[in-house]
Amino acid sequence: MNKALLPLLLCCFIFPASGKDAGWQWYNEKINPKEKENKPVPAAPRQEPDIMQKLAALQTATKRALYEAILYPGVDNFVKYFRLQNYWTQQAGLFTMSAKKAMLAHPELDYNLQYSHYNGTVRNQLAADQAQQRQAIAKLAEYYGIMFFYRGQDPIDGQLAQVINGFRDTYGLSVIPVSVDGVINPLLPDSRTDQGQAQRLG
């Protein structure tokens, strides 16, 4: 009989060993399974303000800080303004540096390489510029002319008549000189007197 009770006694000791500890509380509360954590919804990407709005806001903030520093002098107001002013100075320096780097990376942007006026090529460049100018004026002279209205008694108009005469001789441009006061300038002997053209042409 002892041998028959032995397996029964062993079962009595094994089952309690496999049970869960009750813990220190009076009640055995059910352990709730961990609630599924709601993953936070990623916030919509913050849109940067338009560049013009950003620039306007910075300019307004700088002006406001300046006016506050002037109207309400004090260390804090000046520091606020000065920091904004330093920001602009720093940005200007960065802009200048980026311009220099751009000129190194893209030399075709440098005006002086195309139209140099700073070295030994100045004479050649000026000659080429004048040749282009002559060609353009000659092309215009084929179809157009100048009506030069002047006052024969006015010394300033007399000096301008010298310029017009030189221009006509140099470029072969057709010039119709018109005296508005009836006095003919000796440099412009082919002058006509005004018959109301000045009034009509405005």
pLDDT at 121: 76
pTM above 0.85, yes or no: no
Residues 170-195: pLDDT tens digits? 888 889 999 999 899 998 888 988 88
Domain residue ranges in the chain: 51-105, 145-201
Q: Using the predicted structure, report yes or no on whether residue 6 has a pLDDT greater than 70.
A: no
Residues 62-109: pLDDT tens digits? 999 999 999 999 999 999 999 999 999 999 999 999 999 999 999 888
Dist CA 182 CA 179 (whole Å): 5
Please compute the mean of the pLDDT values over residues 14-20 and round it to a whole number.
56
Instruction: Please state whether beta strands 174-179 and 145-150 pair in parallel, antiparallel, or not at all (unpaired).
Output: parallel
pLDDT band for 123, please (50, 70, 90 cuts).
confident
Please compute the mean of the pLDDT values over residues 40-61 and round it to a whole number.
83
Between 82-96, 112-126, 142-156, the lowest mean confidence (pLDDT) is in: 112-126
